[in-house]
Amino acid sequence: MKIEYVQFTEKMIPDAGMLLSDRHACNRRSLPLLPARFEDPQVAVKAIENLWQRKFKNGYAAFRDGEMIAYLVGETAAMDWGRSGYVYLPGYALAKDENPAVMQDLYALLGDDWVKTGHFNHYLYISVADKKILDAMFDLGFGKERVEALLDLNTLEYPDVEGMVGVTIRMAGKGDNALVGSLSNVIHSALAQSPYWHPTLPEDWIELYEGWSELPDEEDWDVWLAVEKDDALGTVGFTPQPEAETDMLISPRTSYLSVGATRQEARGRGISTALTWHGLKQSRDDGNEFCYTNFISPNLLASRFWPRFGFKDAAYRVAKKVSPMIAWARNE
């Protein structure tokens, strides 16, 4: 039977929820660290309902003989780097044994809506387990940009971390605000370098400094510092990551490795490694079972560092940049 493509509507959410719960069950067979709750169709339905309540959402679904076989739901937003369209993890599903070309067709419809409204930056979050869908998106010009990763803290082997001469590794506390804040530029400076070249606007630098400076005062944060002669060389920060209706990666008792930065001149001394092992062990001792982190794959320092600790890729954000010239060069 011929496939029919139609705009997604609220009435389609129950059918989409069934597809999503089936997809998640399949994903968990190769990614057992994923939470089990999204295998429940009711939980999956709530995730899609949450997406559909967003102000600037749109989507499409594919039907064969009256039965939904796929859907793609996204939202648009005005970001610092330009008007953008996003599809999050609950925003797609493809029925078992269906051709991933259906997802290509759905994106062609959704993406065209985005382009017509001037949203030229397109981002899709896709499970690593959905390799055929990832390959289908790569064929459309998408590239991997961000990695969502998970770590099992209970099966991890924690080495004894040797001390470094002149360097103190300790938990940050009251009075360490300026030390932690002094490292706030490390990540966005790295992202601005080749081969990513991602700008962070100068007007945001002060806000970043203030945010990092406040971390030692936050009760739900564990911030580790490496200090040498009253100067901060590096830091890692962990915070509890609560479950959420749309977060298909987070299980109960998961910590989030949210910040990690070491000054360029201090790299190569084992400081980042020591900080991370201290932080992971503390997170495990606090009763967490899993750790979640994310990093930009073109940030070579990060993408080559975090997997060494056993973090497993769970999902990718794939990105595509559309030339703004299409706004006037279609010749339609």
pTM of the model: 0.95
Q: What is the domain-level CATH number for residue 268?
A: 3.40.630.30
Cβ count within 10 A of residue 215: 21
Same-domain pairing of 131 and 176: no
Q: Does residue 152 fall inside a structural domain?
A: no
Residues of the domain holding 131:
3-146+318-327
CA distance 261 to 264: 9
Same-domain pairing of 177 and 282: yes
Q: Which residue has the tokens 């915070």?
A: 239
pLDDT tens figures, 255-285 = 999 999 999 999 999 999 999 999 999 999 9
Same-domain pairing of 305 and 322: no
Q: What is the pLDDT of residue 277?
A: 97
Same-domain pairing of 19 and 80: yes
The DSSP secondary structure of 248-277, one letter per residue, reads: TTPPSSEEEEEEEEE-GGGTTSSHHHHHHH
Same-domain pairing of 139 and 185: no
Same-domain pairing of 21 and 78: yes
Q: Does residue 221 fall inside a structural domain?
A: yes
Q: What is the pLDDT of residue 163?
A: 82
Q: Does residue 166 fall inside a structural domain?
A: yes
Same-domain pairing of 139 and 222: no
Q: Which of 90, 305, 318 is nearest to 190 (CA)?
A: 305
Q: Mean pLDDT of all residues in the chain?
A: 96
Structure tokens at 94: 């493809």
Q: How many CA atoms lie within 13 A of 117 on its CB side?
A: 17
Q: Which residue has the tokens 């991997």?
A: 144
Number of domains in the chain: 2
pLDDT tens figures, 51-66 = 999 999 999 999 999 9
Q: Does residue 151 fall inside a structural domain?
A: no
Say which residues have a Cβ less than 8 Å from residue 75's Cβ, sequence separation at least 6: 51, 54, 55, 56, 57, 58, 85, 86
Q: Which of 64, 119, 126 is nearest to 97 (CA)?
A: 64
Q: What is the mean pLDDT of residues 153-182?
A: 93
Same-domain pairing of 100 and 61: yes
